[in-house]
Structure 1
Amino acid sequence: MRNVLGCCAVLLLGLSGCRASTNPNTPGQSPGETPTAVKAGTLEEVHAFHGPMPTGVTVSREGRVFVNYPRWGDPVRFTVAELRDGKEVPYPSAELHTDSPTGSPDKLLSVQSVVVDPRNRLWALDTGSLRLGPIAGQEWPKLVGFDLGTNQVLKVIRFPAEVVRKNTYLNDVRFDLRRGQDGLAFITDSGAGGLIVVDLASGRSWRKLDGHESVKADPGFVAPMEGQPLMIRPPGEQPQPFSVQSDGIAISADGSRLFYCPLSSRALYSVSVDALADEKLPDAEVLKTLQKEERRFASDGLESDAQGRVYLTDWEHNAIQVRDATGQYSTLVTDPRMWWPDTLALSTDGYLYVTANQLHRQAQFHGGTDQRQKPYHLFRVKVEATPVALTR
């Protein structure tokens, strides 16, 4: 594996071109270039998880930290939690969570992502899926908004069958609250492959770039992890490609571009937000705004800041990369503890949070043997940045 176990805990590298890199251990560095220093603090552990593996993390203006646990197979008592005094507390209450689709679809079933929007509202993206299977029913996938002042549900948005399919997996979400009456949300579908746009005021939603190669896994993608190619390995069967579609998502500082990437790919794409926001604009026209960048690493979660940077997890190298406003890449931080950096979240006090959950060690990748070693981790690193705040 092209890993970084021999590297120091924090690398302050330059803003050099990733695409020209020839050193696999420093995917953001091009030979012969003089780097401009990127200031970052030391990677700090915020919380250790001894129960189910987390995926998402988000932080409110007041510093409240929320995480989520999708129901992929681990015993999960509650799918969204707030971290309080070192404890994982069900949010907003244990009663709003369920582990079965036989109950009320107003409850949270399996949340893949939690995000605090620029108005300090918490949104939970419920996949409506158990064990990464088909959705449990059309009423289960939903986007749920919470008032963090009262901890009450503000809004529940569901999706029609033409937007959320049986094989849809709602993955992550970003917001531009300047558009429409209450803003737009943008969601990646990592199951069927595509982008979903939601009008938060009306609840109306539509798909864009449905099935385009930019939202699909790279068919030739192979990533070596801990000595072997990362593949689905059912017991007694031939290995199968690990193919996850559009996953990471981030919005530019000015709200003009939406960045996204398939998990099983080393490409980063961006597209015009104006084009996505126009429900009636054909995909052929949307594609005229598409831009593609090749990289030397694969990403899961993305995040952006108001200074024009995009942060990208680099799960092949236990690292976080950063793309500056000119499109140049550098390594922000790398650490041997950061096995499978999953989700990124930038807080108002300038900390970049990241979950590390050993996703690649799950039983499905190892012939039915779970190789994860608890605890999983939530880390943060101080960066000179502020969150994107696209709101009136």
Structure 2
Amino acid sequence: MSNDKIATDRSIGSIEPVFRFFDAMPTGVTVAADGRIFLNFPRWGDGVPFTVGVIQDGKVVAYPDQHINTFDPAHPGETLGSVQSVVVDAANRLWILDTAAPKFTTPLVGAAKLIAVDLVTNKVVKSIVLPATTVLPTTYLNDVRFDLRKGKGGVAYITDSSANGPGGIIVVDLESGNSWRKLTGHRSTSPDLSFVPIVEGERLATREKGKAPVPLSIASDGIALSSDGRTLYYCPLSSRHLYSVPTELLLDTADNSKTISEAVVDLGEKGASDGLESDDKGRVYAGDYEHNSIRQMQTNGEWKTIVHNPRVLWPDTLSVASDGYLYFTANQFPRQPQFHEGQDLREKPYILFRVKIDAGPVLLK
């Protein structure tokens, strides 16, 4: 056999490992202006001693403390059940999105919530428990974005990424705590039933011994706000399409289902994504978990691949930081036992990466 070099798939972008996780599997990441990196670890079945943490002195420790990270059924609105997302807002607060649905179960009554921690005092300053009118029995709260200019105290936009019910967008008034649903069951927040995800060369599906594979069918997941706050971008996890809708229609508490449905724009294929993100230069970022990639939508609508690397095993959450980097977790999501007839194929460590983008986060205040 010749010793000549054989062509192979090329990598794109220069990614830098920031942290290696040898214990619980992370999903969400966010970076504060002071450089602190916060992460969350949903309680999906692995041992998770704390569901929100901060990187400190070379290790991850519970944040803001261990007490709040120990779920207490007697105090469901004050302790954390299973956190899916953490995001730092423009007022230097860490917002914690608690699904209250460990192992993807029905959300625990009175436990699905948004909690804000002041990053100066490291104390909880607000807790908003979401009612049954917005958190349905099938709801799985996934990701969240903030615009603090709306109303008296700002608003939050949350995706419902249900795997067995309607998807949708949940809007929360951060001052009053009131919340409402939009685009529930709309085609843009629903799984694409013709979608067949191929990850590491194989169809991704739930697999049990002796049973037929069950297609992965997950609703609206990734979410991002335009730099001016006028447009919300979102996508189902089980789809390759990106959608957008004017935020003014999401903020209307009246029933405007016909108007908002007609205002949704299908922006075409971007690849299959878990997380979305945006920057202050008007660009949108999307993971492409089928191709171990991250893509950047230019202001003219064209997509550019900025990361393509075999080490990017399922880019989950994307987060633009003020240091000019895009941070993202690679957590080997599709190697979990439920996709391989009970075999856990994950290889620790899970990795937090970053890539230079020369832009800052969208901070609307």
- Tell me which amino acid in the other structure corresponds to 2:12: V
Instruction: Indicate if the aligned counterparts of 1:183 and 1:199 stay in contact, CA closer than 8 A.
Output: yes
Q: Is 1:220 paired with 2:191?
A: no
2-structure distance, mates of 1:210, 1:187: 12
Q: Is 1:62 paired with 2:34?
A: yes
1-structure distance, mates of 2:301, 2:244: 12
- Tell me which amino acid in the other structure corresponds to 1:370: D
What residue is the counterpart of 1:315 in the other structure?
289
1-structure distance, mates of 2:9, 2:228: 35
1:326 positional shift: 1.2
Q: Is 1:186 paired with 2:188?
A: no
Instruction: Indicate if the aligned counterparts of 2:222 and 2:235 stay in contact, CA closer than 8 A.
Output: yes
**What pairs with 1:321-332 in structure 2 (closer than 5 Å)?**
321-332=295-306
What's the secondary structure of 1:288's corresponding residue? Answer: helix
What residue is the counterpart of 1:383 in the other structure?
357
Show structure 1 runs of 5+ residues with no match: 12-41
**Cα distance change of structure 1 residues 104 and 165 upon mapping to structure 2, 3 Å threshold:** closer
Match of 1:47 among 19, 38, 43: 19
- The sequence identity of aligned pairs, in percent, is 51
Match of 2:12 among 4, 10, 17: 10
Computed over aligned residues only, the root mean square deviation of the Cα atoms, in angstroms, reads: 1.4
Instruction: Indicate if the aligned counterparts of 1:9 and 1:43 stay in contact, CA closer than 8 A.
Output: no
2-structure distance, mates of 1:64, 1:91: 11
- Tell me which amino acid in the other structure corresponds to 2:129: R
Instruction: Indicate if the aligned counterparts of 1:171 and 1:188 stay in contact, CA closer than 8 A.
Output: yes
Output the TM-score relative to the length of structure 1.
0.89
What residue is the counterpart of 1:233 in the other structure?
207
Instruction: Indicate if the aligned counterparts of 1:7 and 1:334 stay in contact, CA closer than 8 A.
Output: no
1-structure distance, mates of 2:283, 2:62: 33
**What pairs with 1:61-210 in structure 2 (closer than 5 Å)?**
61-99=33-71, 101=73, 104-137=76-109, 139-191=110-162, 192-210=166-184
1:160 positional shift: 1.6
What residue is the counterpart of 2:3 in the other structure?
none
Alignment deviations for residues 282-323 of structure 1 (CA, whole Å, 9 cap, x no partner): 111112221002215100100001111000011011110000
Instruction: Indicate if the aligned counterparts of 2:270 and 2:303 stay in contact, CA closer than 8 A.
Output: no
2-structure distance, mates of 1:286, 1:114: 28
Output the TM-score relative to the length of structure 2.
0.95
1-structure distance, mates of 2:103, 2:285: 29
1-structure distance, mates of 2:314, 2:362: 25
What's the secondary structure of 1:286's corresponding residue? Answer: helix
Instruction: Indicate if the aligned counterparts of 2:186 and 2:261 stay in contact, CA closer than 8 A.
Output: no
Structure 1 stretch 288-297 or stretch 158-167: which is displaced more?
288-297
**Cα distance change of structure 1 residues 272 and 74 upon mapping to structure 2, 3 Å threshold:** same
1:162 positional shift: 1.2
**Cα distance change of structure 1 residues 95 and 132 upon mapping to structure 2, 3 Å threshold:** same
- Tell me which amino acid in the other structure corresponds to 2:277: E
Q: Is 1:271 paired with 2:240?
A: no
- Tell me which amino acid in the other structure corresponds to 1:165: L
Instruction: Indicate if the aligned counterparts of 2:235 and 2:243 stay in contact, CA closer than 8 A.
Output: yes
What's the secondary structure of 2:258's corresponding residue? Answer: helix
1-structure distance, mates of 2:342, 2:62: 30
- Tell me which amino acid in the other structure corresponds to 1:174: R
What's the secondary structure of 1:94's corresponding residue? Answer: coil
What's the secondary structure of 2:259's corresponding residue? Answer: helix
**Cα distance change of structure 1 residues 296 and 251 upon mapping to structure 2, 3 Å threshold:** closer
What's the secondary structure of 1:96's corresponding residue? Answer: coil
1-structure distance, mates of 2:235, 2:76: 33
Instruction: Indicate if the aligned counterparts of 1:79 and 1:111 stay in contact, CA closer than 8 A.
Output: yes
- Tell me which amino acid in the other structure corresponds to 1:55: T
Structure 1 stretch 92-101 or stretch 220-229: which is displaced more?
92-101
Instruction: Indicate if the aligned counterparts of 1:353 and 1:379 stay in contact, CA closer than 8 A.
Output: yes
Instruction: Indicate if the aligned counterparts of 2:71 and 2:79 stay in contact, CA closer than 8 A.
Output: no
Higher RCO (CA-CA < 8 Å; seq separation 6+):
1
2-structure distance, mates of 1:310, 1:266: 15
What's the secondary structure of 1:275's corresponding residue? Answer: helix
Show structure 2 runs of 5+ residues with no match: 1-6
Instruction: Indicate if the aligned counterparts of 1:225 and 1:316 stay in contact, CA closer than 8 A.
Output: yes
1-structure distance, mates of 2:108, 2:344: 26
1:224 positional shift: 1.5
What's the secondary structure of 1:135's corresponding residue? Answer: coil
What residue is the counterpart of 1:36 in the other structure?
none
Structure 1 stretch 63-72 or stretch 234-243: which is displaced more?
234-243
1:100 positional shift: 6.1
What residue is the counterpart of 1:364 in the other structure?
338
1-structure distance, mates of 2:350, 2:325: 19
Number of aligned positions between the proteins:
356
**Cα distance change of structure 1 residues 6 and 300 upon mapping to structure 2, 3 Å threshold:** farther
Alignment deviations for residues 106-140 of structure 1 (CA, whole Å, 9 cap, x no partner): 10110000000111110000000010111122x11
Instruction: Indicate if the aligned counterparts of 2:72 and 2:79 stay in contact, CA closer than 8 A.
Output: no
